[in-house]
Amino acid sequence: MRLWLDTDPGVDDALALGLIRARPEFELVGLSTVFGNASVAQTTQNALRLLQLLRCSDIPVHIGAAQPLRGSARYAPEVHGGDGVGGIAAQLPLSPAAPQTLPAAEALVAASLRYPRELHLVAVGPFTNVAQALRLDPGLAERVASCTLMGAAFGSHGFTGNVTPCAEANAHNDPCAADEVFAARWTRLQVVPLDATQRVCIPLERLMPLRDRGPVGQLLWQAIQPYAGYYATRDGHAALVAHDATAVAALLMPEVFSWRQGPIRAVEGGLAHGMTVQDWQGLAPNDPAWVGRPAHAVALDAQPEPLMNLCLQAW
């Protein structure tokens, strides 16, 4: 499976990259960076160094959006540390590679033209680059084999948001982009929201073997600590919530998720900024807000055990 990863590394983004590298099913053909967990300058440096750590610095890295389509960027130092990777950025190996000169959106369109109907796009940061690529070339949506997004929240198991009571971070960071991505006619769009990713909370004890797996495992273990600490304060138990790796896993084991079809919208502005809604009942067929919006698959639930095992085997 040829993969393009759009990402804002990001502790859980780093682990998603680790999963991609470990699985023979995937061939990562390109990576684009976006603001989100940290500035795009920082997430780009993190991506380059993580690729070097994982011995694949030949994968081209394209710099994407520094801010959302509207409004200004906000970062998440309280979750991912000031450097976006839990304080380990300076310890990651320097990459001999530099970012490519072609900007992310253009590079994504070019990759879709190079691999028509073969490229699987996985976006695990704010969806700004994907929306910009669609603005450049709306044909992208039908040209890629699939698009998988980590983001949004639909309220299953009480998961309605993680940055506000009604918004998940990637959707909240750029709801305008999210809404444009949801409006596109993808060959297949699958959204993996908090409803599914919050089910994959890997207890720290199960991650301890990482410490014995050489420099890569030790650095990942170190990066996880503040991230797990944040969730421990929030949830009362120290665990790795594997948001982005769960989205990657949806390409490998879609059968362990429960999917619901329907058009999706993202709200911009006000109290509900970044909130996502799916009209799965077809309640608003004549409402101009919903007319012509294509149906997409949303993962409302996920089986934790097979997903945790997949991650633990990869890392």
Report the interface residues with Ca ion, using CB under 5 A. 8, 10, 13, 124-125, 244
Q: Is 122 in the site for ligand BDR (CB under 6 A)?
A: no
Distances in Å between the Cα of 184 and the Cα atoms of 47, 54, 125, 180 are 28, 34, 18, 7
Q: Of 62, 172, 243, 296, which one is the catalytic site residue? A: 243
Question: How far is residue 269's CA from residue 177's CA, in Å, rounded to a whole number?
Answer: 13
In the bound state with ligand BDR, the residue whose beta carbon lies nearer, of 28 and 293, is 28
Q: Is 83 in the site for ligand BDR (CB under 6 A)?
A: no
Question: How far is residue 30's CA from residue 107's CA, in Å, rounded to a whole number?
Answer: 8
In the bound state with ligand BDR, the residue whose beta carbon lies nearer, of 132 and 170, is 170
Q: Quick check: bond before 10 cis, omega within 30? A: yes
Q: Is 22 exposed, middle or buried (0-12, 13-18, 19+ CB in 10 A)?
A: middle
Give the residue from 162, 180, 124, 107 showing the smallest Cα distance to 12.
Answer: 124
Do 301 and 156 touch, CB atoms closer than 8 A? Answer: yes
Mode of pairing for the β-strands spanning 27-33 and 61-63: parallel
Q: Which SS3 state, helix, strand or coil, does residue 85 take? A: coil
Give the residue from 141, 213, 212, 215 showing the smallest Cα distance to 181.
Answer: 141
Q: Is 76 in the site for ligand BDR (CB under 6 A)?
A: yes
With CB under 6 A as the contact rule, the residue among 140, 169, 183, 245 that binds ligand BDR is 169
120 binds, among ligand BDR, Ca ion, none (CB under 5 to 8 A by kind): none
Q: Which amino acid is it at 3? A: L
Q: Which amino acid is it at 117? A: R
In the bound state with Ca ion, the residue whose beta carbon lies nearer, of 180 and 244, is 244
169 binds, among Ca ion, ligand BDR, none (CB under 5 to 8 A by kind): ligand BDR
Is 243 annotated in the active site? Answer: yes
76 binds, among ligand BDR, Ca ion, none (CB under 5 to 8 A by kind): ligand BDR
Share of the chain residues as helix, strand and coil, in percent rounded to the nearest 5? 40, 20, 40
168 binds, among Ca ion, ligand BDR, none (CB under 5 to 8 A by kind): ligand BDR
With CB under 6 A as the contact rule, the residue among 12, 83, 179, 195 that binds ligand BDR is 12
Mode of pairing for the β-strands spanning 146-150 and 119-123: parallel
Segment contacting ligand BDR by CB under 6 A, of 10-18, 41-49, 131-139, 291-299 = 10-18
With CB under 6 A as the contact rule, the residue among 3, 28, 150, 219 that binds ligand BDR is 150
In the bound state with ligand BDR, the residue whose beta carbon lies nearer, of 127 and 186, is 127
In the bound state with Ca ion, the residue whose beta carbon lies nearer, of 103 and 126, is 126
Binding mask 217-256 for ligand BDR (x = CB under 6 A): --------------------------xx------------
Tokens for 230, please give them.
């944040």
Catalytic positions, please? 243
Kindly list the residues in this chain that would bind ligand BDR in the complex (CB under 6 A): 10, 12-13, 37, 76, 79, 124, 150, 162, 168-170, 243-244
